[in-house]
Chains A and B, each alone.
Chain A
Amino acid sequence: QVQLQESGPRLVKPSETLSLTCAVSGGSVNNDPYYWSWIRQPPGKGLEYIGHIFYSGSTSYNPSLLSRVTISFNPSKNQFSLILTSVTAADTALYYCARTSVSGPVEYWGQGTLVTVSS
Chain B
Amino acid sequence: SYVLTQPPSVSVAPGKTARISCGGNNIGSKGVHWYQQKPGQAPVLVIYYDSDRPSGIPERFSGSNSGNTATLTISRVEAGDEADYYCQVWDTNSDFGVFGTGTKVTVL
9 example contacts (A-B, Cβ-Cβ < 8 A) are as follows A46-B86, A46-B101, A47-B35, A60-B96, A63-B1, A104-B48, A105-B45, A105-B48, A106-B33
CB of B45 within 8 A of CB of A52, answer no
Given the known interface contacts A104-B48, A112-B42, the answer about A49 and B99 at a Cβ–Cβ threshold of 8 Å is yes
In whole angstroms, how far apart are the Cα atoms of A26 and B92 in the complex? 28
- Residues 82 to 119 of chain A near chain B (Cβ within 8 Å): 96, 100, 103-107, 109-112
- Within 8 Å CB of B101, what residues of A? 46
Partner-A contacts on B (CB < 8 A): 1, 31, 33, 35, 42-45, 48-49, 86, 88, 90, 92, 94-102
**Least Cβ–Cβ distance between B103 and chain A, in angstroms:** 10
- Say yes or no: is A79 at the interface (Cβ < 8 Å to chain B): no
- Within 8 Å CB of B43, what residues of A? 47, 106, 109
Given the known interface contacts A63-B1, A105-B88, the answer about A51 and B96 at a Cβ–Cβ threshold of 8 Å is yes
- Say yes or no: is A16 at the interface (Cβ < 8 Å to chain B): no
- Residues 4 to 54 of chain A near chain B (Cβ within 8 Å): 37, 39, 46-49, 51-52
What number of A-B contacts does a CB cutoff of 8 Å give? 59
CB of B99 within 8 A of CB of A48, answer yes
CB of A110 within 8 A of CB of B98, answer no
Given the known interface contacts A46-B99, A47-B86, A47-B99, the answer about A105 and B94 at a Cβ–Cβ threshold of 8 Å is no
Partner-B contacts on A (CB < 8 A): 37, 39, 46-49, 51-52, 60-64, 96, 100, 103-107, 109-112
Q: A-B pairs with the 4 shortest C-beta distances?
A: A105-B33, A49-B97, A109-B42, A60-B95
Q: A37-B97, A64-B1, A100-B97 are in contact. List 20 more A-B contacts (CB 8 A).
A: A39-B97, A46-B99, A46-B100, A47-B43, A49-B99, A52-B96, A63-B94, A96-B42, A103-B90, A103-B95, A104-B31, A104-B33, A104-B48, A105-B45, A105-B48, A105-B49, A106-B33, A106-B35, A106-B43, A110-B42
- Within 8 Å CB of B42, what residues of A? 96, 109-112
**Least Cβ–Cβ distance between A107 and chain B, in angstroms:** 6
In whole angstroms, how far apart are the Cα atoms of A109 and B43 in the complex? 7
